[in-house]
Every structure is written in C-alpha cells, then in structure tokens.
C-alpha cells in the first residue's frame, strides 16, 4: 500500500519479503551505524516481512521510552511465542507477562538483595574451588563454570537444575546453543533451526522435571521461596511453567555472563586500574591468604571502583537493540512512523553519543564518579537495561553477581591475560555483546 510521504527512508534490499535481511543479518550492529550515516537519524529496515524503524537521536529515543503510542508487550509477544513454544493464546500471554514481570521485579529488587548475598558468596566459593590453585583457561569458560551454577542455584534453588560437573556440561552445551541462536530463532520459522529446536526441547524437558519436582515438595514461607517457586505460584496455566522457567533462565544468564567477561577483560588489560582495584581489595579484606572470605553487601559498597568498571563494561557492550511496537502513528522529527512498525533503539550506539559520553570508545570507569549510585541512578544517556516501566527487573542482581565474582576471583588469584582482549562479535543485536573468539587467562595464587 502507498506509504505516507512523511515515512522515514526505507532500506529494503532487492529481494521482496526477504528485503534487507541478508545485509542486516550478517553484521546488524554495523549495519545500523552505516544506515544512520547514509540515511539520517530515523530510518526503516525492511527484512523478512517486517519493518524495523530505528531512532538514533534524542527526540526519538525519548519517545521510545515515554510515548503511549508504543507497546512493549506486543513487540515481545511474537519473539516469546517463537522462542519458547508455538502458541500461548494472546490474552493469557498478556496476563502472564504483567504478573510474572511484577513477581520477578518484586523478588529480586534492591531491597531484597541481602537475601541473596550470603548464599551467592558461598555458591561462588564452592564452584571456584573446582578451579584448583592454578591453571590456564579460556576466560569465558572460567567465568561460566563458576557463575553459571552459582546464579542458577540462587534463583532456582540448590540442586534443582543439574549443576554437578558432568550434567552441567550437557546442560551448558544446550544452553549455549539456545542462547547463540536465540535471536535468529525469534525471526525464523522452526525448520531453519533444527539444532536450536533440539536444544530448546532438551531444556524444556529438563524444566518439566524441575517444575514437577518443585510442585511435589512442600512450599516454604514466602521469604525462603526461590524465584522459581514464586514464578510457579503466579503463572496462569500450569503447563506453561516450564516455558517461563526457560525464559527466566535465559534472561538471567545470557547478559550477565558476557558482562562478567568484559569487566574482567577490561580490568586485566588496564594495569593501573587492576592495581588500584587490588589496593581497594587489600584495604577491605587484608592481604592474600585467608580461605573463603565472606563478602557482604556493605563490603561491596566500599569497592566502588569495581562497580564503576562493571557499569563501564556494560555501557561499552550493551544490547544492540531494544524494541517496541508502534500501535498508533507516531511523529518523530519530520517523520510519521506508521502503526505496525517495530520501533528500535540501540543502547550500544546510544552509549557512543559524545554529548553524554566523551571519548566514548575508551574504557573509563572514572566517568561513573558523576553518577548518583547512592540513589541507584545511572549516568544520563545510559540505557543498557531499558528505561521506565519495562526496565530490566534483574539489573541490580546482575551488578551484584558480577561484583561479587570479580572480588572473589581477584582476591584469590593473580590473573594474567594471555591473549589480546577480543573484539565484540558483529552478529548480535539482541542482548549484550559476545566476545569474538577466545581469550585465555592464566591464574595462580595471589602473593
């Protein structure tokens, strides 16, 4: 049909329906930036039958977070439908979404993090013990082997998901496959994605068992319930519980793990920052040598430089895009964006706006001095967790998990990177950026 003359410029490639999917799919992050340079701050990409309209400047970004003509749930519904199971009736989807979002938000909120801190610290120690006193390992694998079982145990309950060493391998393998292809699967029909489907089925089967076990045991009082148990109490349609459990698994792991990687990689590749951090750690916990130190929320507050490093790593490696659906035509600058478009904002590129982040490509934890972290406010212009009503409910839990992991690893070991810090893979739009290729680290007891 004819488009409004005020529609943004549209990039559609030369193949009908498939549109710009090929160029877009090969390196979506770079594609967005090249398109912005070529077509201006507002442009539409037509791919796989969908219109994705990107807004890259303040007016559009502001509208993205505040306009009533946009809908978050209608944007994620098709993705969730495709990534978990063929069909959840729309009304049940919307009812569940609001309830489960509020449940998770309530359970992992800032004021309840103290409920997780002690267990998290113990769990991290337990899984760090498997590393032994020294060795060489790919940094991503090292982080995953410690953080993955620890954070799964705190959200889902100890031993509820397979976390012993050999079961863990299989579980991790399937999760990695699921995660790698998550974004392609959210757009493609299932038959393009047979390996992915296999991993999804495996994980769903596991969660069916997890859920039926959790249903059988008697429920503890509210404060000692796991996040999984709260989810089961609140989901509408019990048969959907394994699907939502899988989504929670993905949301809680897929972003936090690469963030831990980038944080450590940036710290270790900046010797003066590494040195300052070690001085802070010594001032709080003393010299090396103590076994299993206990790290409290208060201790973390004293280790502010590490927190800045985490936030700076998140800034530099944040999600390629977040999405809302346009439900009524929306005016941005001189353009009218038609209803039905997916409106896209790229936190990754927004975090390179020199107005908010001078010298944007440089890892500068000090810039976070300006943020009012006491009041839990981020820097202006920062949007890695989204903003407003649908902001990531797990953001403070994620920061605490990474903070504690970094403290424990750096307290126990001296770490040396054996490879240069890899670039980010150009393939990902959904979620935080993944490293392209391996980066080995040598670890030995700290003197």
Q: Which residue ranges make up the site for ligand HEM (CB under 6 A)?
A: 101, 104, 108, 251-252, 255-256, 259, 314, 319, 322, 384-386, 390, 392-394, 397-398, 432
Element containing residue 422 per DSSP (H, E): none
CB proximity list for 131: less than 8 A, separation 6 or greater: 137, 142, 145, 146, 413, 443
**φ, ψ for residue 156 (rounded to 5)?**
-105, -10
User: Least separation, in Å, of the C-beta of 434 and ligand HEM?
Assistant: 12
CB of 377 to ligand HEM, least distance (A): 17
Indicate the residue among 120 and 392 with the shorter CB distance to ligand HEM. Answer: 392
State how far the alpha carbon of 1 is from the alpha carbons of 4, 22, 338, 341, in Å: 10, 24, 12, 14
Closest approach, Cβ 213 to ligand HEM, in A, equals 21
Of 351 and 364, CB closest to ligand HEM:
351
Q: How far is the CB of 427 from ligand HEM (least distance, A)?
A: 17
For residue 274, count CB atoms less than 10 angstroms from its CB and return exposed for 0-12, middle for 13-18, buried for 19 or more. Answer: middle
Residue 256 near residue 398 (C-beta atoms within 8 A)? yes
Q: In the complex with ligand HEM, which residue's Cβ is closer, 256 or 268?
A: 256
11/256 with CB nearer ligand HEM? 256
311 in Cβ contact with 385 (< 8 Å)? no
C-beta of 93 vs 335, nearer to ligand HEM: 93
Pairing of strands 413-417, 335-337: unpaired
Query: Interior CA angle at 195 toward 190 and 201, to 5°?
Result: 75
**Closest CB 65 distance from ligand HEM, rounded Å:** 8
Instruction: Between 115 and 251, name the residue whose CB sits nearer to ligand HEM.
Output: 251
- List helix spans (H) across 269-394: 271-285, 297-302, 304-316, 347-350
Q: How far is the CB of 81 from ligand HEM (least distance, A)?
A: 14
């Amino acid at each position: 049909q004819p488009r409004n003359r005020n529609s943004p410029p549209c990039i559609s490639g030369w193949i009908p329906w498939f549109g710009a999917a090929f160029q877009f799919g090969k390196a979506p992050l770079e594609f967005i930036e090249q398109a912005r340079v070529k077509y201006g701050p507002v442009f539409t990409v037509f791919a796989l039958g969908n219109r994705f309209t990107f807004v890259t400047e303040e007016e559009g970004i502001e509208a993205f977070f505040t306009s009533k003509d946009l809908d978050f749930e209608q944007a994620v519904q098709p993705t969730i439908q495709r990534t978990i199971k063929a069909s959840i009736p729309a009304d049940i989807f919307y009812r569940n979404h609001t309830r489960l979002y509020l449940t998770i938000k309530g359970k992992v909120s800032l004021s309840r993090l103290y409920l997780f801190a002690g267990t998290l610290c113990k769990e991290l120690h337990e899984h760090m013990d498997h590393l032994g006193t020294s060795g060489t390992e790919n940094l991503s694998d090292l982080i995953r082997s410690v953080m993955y079982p620890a954070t799964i145990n705190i959200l889902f309950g100890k031993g509820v998901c397979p976390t012993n060493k050999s079961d863990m391998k299989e579980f991790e393998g399937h999760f990695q496959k699921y995660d790698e292809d998550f974004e392609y699967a959210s757009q493609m029909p299932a038959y393009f994605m047979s390996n992915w489907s296999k991993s999804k089925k495996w994980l769903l089967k596991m969660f069916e068992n997890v859920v039926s076990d959790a249903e059988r045991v008697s429920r503890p009082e509210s404060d000692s319930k796991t996040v999984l148990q709260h989810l089961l109490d609140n989901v509408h349609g019990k048969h959907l519980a394994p699907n939502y459990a899988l989504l929670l698994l993905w949301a809680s792991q897929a972003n936090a793990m690469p963030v831990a990687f980038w944080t450590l990689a940036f710290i270790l590749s900046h010797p003066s920052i590494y040195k300052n951090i070690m001085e802070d750690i010594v001032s709080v916990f003393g010299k090396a040598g103590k076994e299993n130190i206990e790290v409290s929320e208060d201790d973390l507050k004293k280790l502010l430089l590490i927190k800045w490093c985490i936030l700076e790593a998140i800034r530099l490696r944040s999600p390629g895009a977040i999405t809302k659906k346009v439900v009524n035509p929306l005016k941005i600058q001189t353009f009218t964006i038609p209803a039905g478009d997916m409106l896209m904002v790229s936190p990754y590129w927004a975090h390179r706006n020199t107005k908010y982040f001078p010298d944007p490509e440089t890892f500068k934890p000090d810039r976070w001095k300006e943020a009012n972290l006491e009041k839990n406010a981020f820097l202006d212009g920062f949007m890695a967790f989204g903003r407003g009503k649908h902001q990531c409910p797990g953001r403070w839990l994620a920061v605490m998990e990474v903070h504690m992991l970094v403290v424990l690893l750096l307290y126990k070991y001296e770490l040396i990177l054996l490879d240069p810090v890899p670039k980010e893979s150009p393939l990902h739009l959904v979620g935080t950026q993944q490293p392209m290729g391996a980066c080995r680290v040598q670890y030995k007891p700290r003197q």
